[in-house]
Structure 1
């Protein structure tokens, strides 16, 4: 990433501090790659510029209980991880959930996993993580999990925050795509559209309170994106310095076919028609990936013995009940996790789903063994 931000912030979520009855979770949030407008960008408190997997990265680490899972936040297109933890002058913690044009999804997954490994080793943290991906950040889940596995890190749960999986054709390319002088993707009106949703989140679900002023949001929370991360059927050509049509690179990089690396999944989303595609489709798309992962596990066992033990119908019921079990809707739009009410509820549901995922895994394995 030309600048990656990782952050973790238990207190902003309202329910993950050390005094909470819920399990403490350390939040860590790597951003997507973006082109910073300043040659030496001003960093917010705790942010660090570094390099991982051969790419520059900006990250922020806020500790909680080192014995609890590390929560890793992956932001979406056109944004850095500050959408999860804030930092601008005048921000309030309780309102937040806690250049490389050829940068690809496979690089992104590897880089994010290496940053997590560095933090885990430095602070002697649990090697179990909860991966949280927002928007375009959903494309990273299996590349991240595969590389984390090679580093001895277990992804206990992936939580989609209105996120898009790396399935080919799962979202249309944005309109008005152009490339910046540095080779990054930008699109006509996309940042203004996002800014309108942030304002709508303020007005409709945060009692009219401003979470991030629009000018600060546009200057400090957004940026251009390496085109191969977006799944927009383009890649950057170094020689021509242009975007070329490429229908398969992003899909291949997302390796959704490698079901063995798919973790347990939960999906959180908003309710607003401003985010209609995620509201309508996320439960189905993420349930599809999780069902494929469970089928991969089932196929490792002797089906005749499962039937003989009387577990076959129980197994069917468990898998078919997943869509309603793994999904949760929180009032809001694409930014439903911003603002105190949404931030607190998001944190609560992540903790709840981690407990549910562990229980489901134990019961599922008991039926198979």
Structure 2
């Protein structure tokens, strides 16, 4: 018997049924997204949370029946901050169709459009901080550009073990990344003799549960309610594009991510894990993002100065000290691996560091402006 395809109304009904009661299926810049939206108290900031590869943004607010204290949403609410957690379209049943060729720019435009619409309902002055986990480090620049164009520049970005926009930082399989029959990045596939990404993530979550003396996300719930397959281009790496029979080059990737357009990157605070299970982020995130921060400050604040040879020696030494201190000043750590922000202990610490880093980013920008003072010939943006 041949089954007819579902009608639009049937697909929409199934999509709605797949959502949690606190979620919305919204469209932003023609792309759908699952959105969790909890406004802030008064004029406090809102965190726009973006998930990594293979995951819905539920990792920031949990599932029905979960202990709310195990997720950053609870602790943000405790300090009066809002949360907008946005999940990209994937193979979760909430989405009526797939978007296997969605790009980083597409994702950024979608998130920005959704955020601008929802945050417009908050009392002025509206403040926003963009937080990206893992793969989402590739899209935060695009999101911030969209927010700024819409009249709502972000206070800054917070990296939660996020991959900076440099090709080669994300592990790849030797024979290329596997895709599902529908063209999405297959995150349950593996090379012979190596564990799958899914099994590694399960092990990381189990470690977080052990740290908190309780199961945070049961494995069956994790597989059903959190884990998805992802549009491949969102990972921001050179790769073979199956559907186009072409190669995405390093040059194309760096152009998409704006890697070398240093002045266009937002200042980024780093919250890094500590365990060898997430060695790259634990060991390199402060300096990788610190490099971008240093170049951003130079391009936006220093390069426009009229004549640095006339700067007072004391101010020059202050500027040198500030620049050398950037990685330490804008870095915090939380005990754990790649999921360090899941579980009561890690979630509370993450929110404490996030709110402090947002203040530190604002203070740092003010200090640079004060040091340079009349040296600045023009304003390049903040």
**What TM bracket, shorter-length normalisation?**
0.7 to 0.9
TM-score (norm 2): 0.81
C-alpha deviations, 1:341-362, integer Å up to 9, x for none?
Answer: 1000101111111222222111
The corresponding residue for 1:17 is none
SS of residue paired to 2:294: helix
2:179 maps to: 179
Greater alpha carbon shift after TM alignment, 230-239 vs 49-58: 230-239
Give ranges in structure 1 of 5+ residues lacking alignment: 1-37
Equivalent position of 1:132 in the other structure: 131
Does the CA contact (< 8 Å) of 1:206 and 1:341 recur in 2? yes
Tell me if 1:354 matches 2:358: yes
Task: Give, in whole Å, the separation in 2 of the partners of 1:278 and 1:267.
Answer: 10
Alignment of 1:117-266 (within 5 A): 117-124=116-123, 126-174=125-173, 177-187=177-187, 188=189, 189-203=196-210, 205-207=211-213, 209-234=214-239, 236-238=241-243, 244=247, 246-266=249-269
**Equivalent residue for 1:100?**
99
Distance 2:233 2:207 in 1: 30
> Separation in 2 of the partners of 1:246 and 1:315?
38
* Residues in 2 aligned to 1:321 and 1:239: alpha-carbon distance in whole angstroms: 45
Unaligned runs of 5+ in 2: 1-13, 74-97, 190-195, 374-382
1:366 aligns with 2:370: yes
User: Looking at CA atoms only, which structure, 1 or 2, has the larger radius of gyration?
Assistant: 2
User: Take 1:39 and 1:58, find their aligned partners in 2: how far apart are those partners?
Assistant: 10
Shift of 1:306: 5.4
Task: Say yes or no: does 1:71 pair with 2:59.
Answer: no
TM-score (norm: length of structure 1): 0.84
Give SS of 2:217's match: coil
Distance in 1 (alpha carbons) for counterparts of 2:69 and 2:269: 23
Shift of 1:69: 1.7
Does the C-alpha gap of structure 1 residues 167 and 335 become closer, same or farther in structure 2, counting only changes over 3 Å? same
Q: State the Cα RMSD in Å.
A: 1.9
Change (3 A) 1:250 1:223: farther
Equivalent residue number for residue 323 of structure 1? 327
Contact residue 166 and residue 250 of structure 1 kept, 8 A: no
Moved more, 167-176 or 322-331: 167-176
Deviation at 1:278, TM superposition (A): 0.5
Deviations 1:59-93 (A, max 9, x none): 010122241222111110111100000023x2011
8 Å Cα contact 2:104/2:236 also seen in 1: no
Residues in 1 aligned to 2:250 and 2:229: alpha-carbon distance in whole angstroms: 21
Q: Is the alpha carbon distance of 1:123 and 1:308 closer, same or farther for their aligned partners in structure 2, counting shifts above 3 Å?
A: closer
| 2:63–2:225 CA contact under 8 A, matched in 1 | no
2:132 partner SS: strand
SS at match of 1:116: helix
Q: Secondary structure at the match of 2:136?
A: helix
Counterpart CA distance in 2 for 1:54 and 1:256 is 26
CA distance in 1 between counterparts of 2:306 and 2:63 reads: 53
Instruction: Find the aligned partners of 2:127 and 2:282 in 1 and give their Cα distance.
Output: 29
Give the paired residue count.
327
